[in-house]
Structure 1
Amino acid sequence: MVVKVGIAKLGNIASGVMAELLLDERADREDMETFMATSGTKLQEKDIDRVVENMKAYGPDFCIVVSPNGVLPGPKGAREALAAAGIPCVVITDDITTKKDEFAALKETSFGYIIMKADAMIGARREFLDPIEMADYNGNLVKVLAVTGAFRKLQIALDEVIDQVKEGKKGADLVLPKIVMSSDKAVEGEFTNPYAYAKARAAYEMAQSVAGINVKGCFMTKGHENYTPIVASAHEVMRQAMLLCEEAREIEKSCDGVIRKPHKSDGTRVEKVKLIDKPW
């Protein structure tokens, strides 16, 4: 059986850059296929409607709806429209847990969700953010989410949904993930060296803090001479988080302790630690 996985990418967060790639890192899985429809950079109604119609036409076994601020009307309407068409949805978004009423409402629905708390809002002030700064920031953030273990937990959660479809479950019978990706959740089981673990956990905590700094710089501060240094400082925090992740990774490499969990072509996850071992 080939499982059809849809990815509805609305706007951009770093998790959306990697969502389908995490499921098939060598592009050789025979048990699943992916299809992505994207609204581009914006969350306008017409762009989201186009994504929904393309996803319905594809007819996936389940759909990943990835967007910033997943409680906004656009992303909320997209997943509701897909669910009405009989397509189960897993929401991947940045930290919406501070929006207590909206998050509580999401938890009461049948939708799955993975809240990536460290997938922090960018410093979107024109005086600071040009295309290269945007790309550099997202590169640093992808490194943090990858090395800390947040991406691995996301990937395994989605793999488990794929496995359920392969077992014959469909629609409302699927058990969808409900995960808030805290620092403890991200780093759990990811490191063989305690110093590497500590550095990665610190990096995740730092990345989580970036959203609050950027909210202050983008929405709460007036005058470019005041808000530009604030958003610049947020990007510096993310860079330092990335550097801590590189240090953690190098510690793991130095003791031949990097944990690897590749997919086989049938979708089975295998595991190894020693570099010159074969995964089992």
Structure 2
Amino acid sequence: MLTPTADLIAEAYAAGTGVGAFNVLTLEHVQAVSAAAELTGRPAILQISHNAVRHHHDDVTPLADAALAVARQSKARLALHLDHVENDDLLHRTADCGASSVMYDASRLSDEENVAATRAAVEWAHAQGLFVEAELGEIGGKGSAHTPGVRTDPEQAAAFVAATGVDALAVAVGSSHAMRTRSAELDLDLIARIRAAVPVPLVLHGSSGVPGEVLGAAVAHGMTKINVGTLLNVAFTGAVTATLRDAPTTVDPRRYLAAAREAATTVVADCLRATTA
């Protein structure tokens, strides 16, 4: 059933557990998340990134409509979230497209500009009843919040939350975006220190590169929302490749899309078990 993101995150935050959030590109991705959530009996967040919107000719509506339809019919509780939104045009479509939350990404800007832009986005979004996630920008001159090797300072994170009013904060603790191998080493002590300093739920981006048992440890140390994207695509594309390798004359896309959906379902289920146990 369609559920507000804020409800899923608030419940996980209060219970000290986690909620998985999965980036979707196609209807099969959406169906895989729904199937895995039903299989495991756990809630999940369907995420549509700004990059995915660009892929769909800069129109969020078709994929969002598909996600909403699946969520409403699912036996699991599913939320719809817009991820890494980089401009106000898409931000202002969040409520219209049916999403209940948005990750506003002004991290490419200077610290001062990031704070100002994020604060303005939060003020607008809260007036629409939306939940807002954000992330820090440049950290100590060392790069963006998810550049390999960069770490979030707890005091800086607390100051950013106070200055912007965001509802959740993505922090840098050892993972990075688009990792294809699960080899990231998280700083669990840092997660605990940030959790103690920051009064809102923490978000782990780049979770595709984190081993399942470490995801569970990250949740135990204070992470709440666990974002996964590349891991689904690795499984999805691997299944398509294997199907076409084994049956190179296949022309019916249903055959390899079904295999891809099944592979993605398995990955999502594994992540849900690791992060919400």
TM bracket (short chain): 0.3 to 0.5
- Length-normalised TM-score, structure 2: 0.33
TM score, norm. by length of structure 1:
0.33
**Structure index of larger Rg:** 1
